[in-house]
Structure 1
Amino acid sequence: MATVSNSYAQPILRTTNLSTALQTVEQLLGIADLQNLEVDFEAIISSTHALASAQEVLPDAEWWTREDERDGSSAYGDDPSAHLPIVFRTTDTPLAVGPFLAAVADSPTTVRWDFNAWPEAPQIGLGRGGTRGAFVTLCANVRDLDLKEPAADHTVFVHVKQREAARAPWLAAQVGLQVIGDLVMAPD
Structure 2
Amino acid sequence: MNSYAQPVLRTADLSEGLRIVDRLLAIADLKDLEVDFDARISSPGVLPGVLALLPDADWWAEGERAGSSKRGDDPSAWLPVRLSCWSEAPEAVEPFLRAVGDSPATVRWDFNGWPEAPEVGLGEGGTRGAFVTLCAHAGDLELTEPAAGYMVFVHVKQVDAERAPWLAAQVGLRVIGDLDMAPY
Shorter chain as denominator, the TM-score bin is over 0.9
C-alpha RMSD over aligned residues: 0.8
Counterpart amino acid of residue 171 in structure 2:
V
User: Separation in 2 of the partners of 1:181 and 1:47?
Assistant: 30
Q: Percent identity?
A: 65
* Aligned mate of 2:2, from 6, 25, 35: 6
Q: Which residue of 2 aligns with 1:80?
A: 75
Aligned residue runs from structure 1 range 101-116, under 5 A: 101-116=97-112
Q: Which structure is higher in helix share? A: 1
Work out whether 1:89 is the aligned partner of 2:93. Answer: no
Counterpart amino acid of residue 153 in structure 1:
G
User: Separation in 1 of the partners of 2:183 and 2:122?
Assistant: 24
Counterpart amino acid of residue 136 in structure 2:
A
Unmatched segments (≥5 aa) in structure 1: none
> SS in structure 2 opposite 1:49?
coil
TM-score by structure 2 length? 0.98
User: Separation in 2 of the partners of 1:7 and 1:54?
Assistant: 27
User: Separation in 2 of the partners of 1:166 and 1:116?
Assistant: 19
Counterpart amino acid of residue 140 in structure 2:
D
Work out whether 1:71 is the aligned partner of 2:66. Answer: yes
Task: Point out 4+ residue stretches in structure 1 off by more than 2 angstroms.
Answer: none
TM-score by structure 1 length? 0.96
Aligned residue runs from structure 1 range 113-128, under 5 A: 113-128=109-124
Q: Which residue of 2 aligns with 1:18?
A: 14
Unmatched segments (≥5 aa) in structure 2: none
Task: Count residues in correspondence.
Answer: 183
Work out whether 1:144 is the aligned partner of 2:106. Answer: no
User: Separation in 2 of the partners of 1:58 and 1:176?
Assistant: 34
Per-residue deviation, residues 70-101 of structure 1 (Å, max 9, x unmatched): 52000000000000000011021111000000
User: Separation in 2 of the partners of 1:61 and 1:94?
Assistant: 16
Cα shift at 1:182: 0.4
